[in-house]
Amino acid sequence: MFFIAFLYSSVGHAGASGYIAVLTLFSFAPAEIKPIALVLNILVASIGSWQFWRAGHFSWKLFWPFAILSFPMAYLGGYLDLPTHIFKVIVGFVLMFSAIRFLIPQNTDSELTVPSKPVSLGVGAFLGLLSGLTGTGGGIFLTPILLLMRWTTVKTAAALSVFFILVNSVSGLLGNFSATKTLPLFALPLGVAVIVGGSMGSYLGSKILQPSTIKKLLAIVLILAGTKLIFTS
């Protein structure tokens, strides 16, 4: 859990897909996995949001259109319990394709364009629902879109994603709690490991690591997340 939090937080993510994979391997019940992953996500995303905001990489103007509809849709996704195995396999292959794209040298920090408000709202709503259904914060999906569409720079994409993850993880957990009326107390001891790992990773990602290094780490994260979605669906 420490390693997952460290690696994911260095690229502006919180590690939910990694936590889900580990919990699945240790035979946790499906009903426990989603809320535990969301609690750990909230802890790491809170630290990452602070680190990337303090480093000056966050853009509220670009963030709010993605976030405003994602919050209620993440709540809905957290409340629902749908058979999403086929959808997860498709998403897994999309993430792995995105990872390959990041391993191919390209200049994503130039010729940037700003997405229109309707596009941002639509993308945010869809990713919010997806994040709630899968028990992730949605950043694993948002970052590749931001970079491949050339909507922002690498570090700003990381900052937007970690804030996006925080918002959607809180909403998804609220939705899950509304449906189950239980909170995963087992997440508390695991929280110590992810807080330490998330603090170290987000500090490196926001202040020290170069964009090219972050993109390579992001490719690793996407491959891990994609593999998890494909083989544990």
Q: For residue range 155-195, what is the model confidence (pLDDT) as tens digits?
A: 999 999 999 999 988 988 888 888 888 877 778 889 999 99
Burial class for 105, CB neighbours closer than 10 Å (0-12, 13-18, 19+)? exposed
Instruction: Tell me the average confidence (pLDDT) per consecutive run of 10 residues in the chain, 233 residues long.
Output: 92 86 80 86 95 94 94 85 67 76 62 91 91 79 89 92 92 86 81 95 92 85 80 68
* C-beta separation of 150 from 62 below 8 A: no
In this predicted structure, what is the pLDDT of residue 41?
92
Q: How far apart are the first and last CA of the chain?
A: 20
127-146 confidence digits (pLDDT tens): 988 888 777 778 888 988 99
Backbone angles phi, psi at 50, to 5 degrees: -65, -45
Name the pTM for this structure: 0.85
